[in-house]
Amino acid sequence: MKITAALSGRGGDAPELVELEQEAPRAGEMRIRLVATGICHTDLHEHPGRHSPQPIVLGHEGAGVVEELGEGVSGFAVGDHVILSGNSCGQCPSCLAGRPTYCDLAMPLCFCGKRLDGSTALCQHADEGDHPVHSHFFGQSSFATHAIVPQRTAVKMDKDLPLEKLGPLGCGVVTGAGGVIEALKVGFGDSIAVFGTGGVGLSAVMAAKLVGAKHIVAVDLSDERLELARELGATHTFRGDQEGLADAIRKVTGRGMQFTFNTTNAPPVHTMALDVLAMNGTAGFVAAPLPDANGPWAPQMFAMLAGGRQLRGILGGDANPRTFLPQLADYWRQGRLPFDRLLSFYPFKEIDRAWADAKSGAAIKPVLLMENSDDA
């Protein structure tokens, strides 16, 4: 079947819209007609490929309608509304424990651009013949009108929810909200400092408010983002470049923060997020620091972790998408998790503009709307 997809690996600033041939879903897979898909920083980093082979169709915050079932698919019907999450094997100890974001096969299943048997679902016709195109990015490759996805990546959602808004629940929102609720288990009366107020950080702020945290600190370099953080629940905001920032954050509670949640990959922020912890506090992070000559060096880190402090890497908000994503949608319905305030919509054909706005930060969470999705 012919589809339109945004292809990476052709040298442009943004993925380029092309026509591709997509095969039918294989056993255990479904064809999804995409209604919308968010653009996440992981997509920006993989164009051109950092971990992934090229050419590839990226995209991993897809939302759409089940159009065709492969052999053996159960629990889904044609016409179901779904959002797509990361791929996982379903059989390793992490998957069996309901923690699929820590699947033993997460890297090959999400980043290798093919099924484990080496096949891809896409190819490009050219005058010189057919050329395979990498697919199955996070089990999705959702920068396209249609995606072939393993049924494990799909999460069924109620049909009265606005499908075009739901895609970012599958990565950006769950990374922030799950990080706070599921991984760090922030609770009533607790204190947390969130570093970076992009889509992940602002989702963390909303989640901290939702669970009743008392002190919610947001740190960023953008005054506009900090203003939004306040509207969404931050009790204190600080510019990341202010003098004496660590002291100012510690003073919010008088003893430092019980939790920090770092959404950036800036080495000084990783140091700061440890430095402002109270005794016995926990620092969660979602991205490793970029290599940096100024550390933090191991002895400095051990000194910061003394006092019962913990440092915790968090993937996908620790969440089981099947149960957690519908819960987040319910909180949205109740007006208690207004993640749609982070979204900016673009027609799929304007992916160049959406890509530029994602890179510059002009849009917090750009969402591409696919043109053939008139009954969404």
- Tell me the residue type at 269: V
Q: Minimum Å distance from CB 43 to Zn ion?
A: 7
Contact between 42 and Zn ion per CB under 5 A: yes
Contact between 246 and Zn ion per CB under 5 A: no
Selected from 88, 142, 153, 253, the binder of Zn ion by CB under 5 A is 88
Question: Which of these, 26, 19, 6, 319, lies nearest to 149 by C-alpha position?
Answer: 26
Pick 215 or 365: Cβ nearer Zn ion: 365
Contact between 40 and Zn ion per CB under 5 A: yes
Pick 82 or 171: Cβ nearer Zn ion: 171
Integer Cα distance of 189 and 212 in angstroms: 6
Q: Which residue has the tokens 């963390």?
A: 204
- Tell me the residue type at 165: K
Pick 201 or 296: Cβ nearer Zn ion: 201
Q: Minimum Å distance from CB 191 to Zn ion?
A: 27
SS3 126: strand
Integer Cα distance of 347 and 35 in angstroms: 11
Contact between 95 and Zn ion per CB under 5 A: yes
- Tell me the residue type at 91: Q
Burial of 208 (0-12, 13-18, 19+ CB in 10 A): buried
Contact between 286 and Zn ion per CB under 5 A: no
166-205 mask for Zn ion (x: CB under 5 A)?
Answer: -----x----------------------------------
Contact between 110 and Zn ion per CB under 5 A: no
Contact between 89 and Zn ion per CB under 5 A: yes
Contact between 103 and Zn ion per CB under 5 A: yes
User: How many helices and strands, by DSSP H and E, does the chain display?
Assistant: 12, 18
Contact between 44 and Zn ion per CB under 5 A: no
Q: Minimum Å distance from CB 245 to Zn ion?
A: 28
Determine the straight-line distance between the first and last CA of the chain, rounded to whole angstroms.
21
- Tell me the residue type at 224: E
In the complex, which residues of this chain contact Zn ion (CB under 5 A)? 40, 42, 88-89, 92, 95, 103, 171
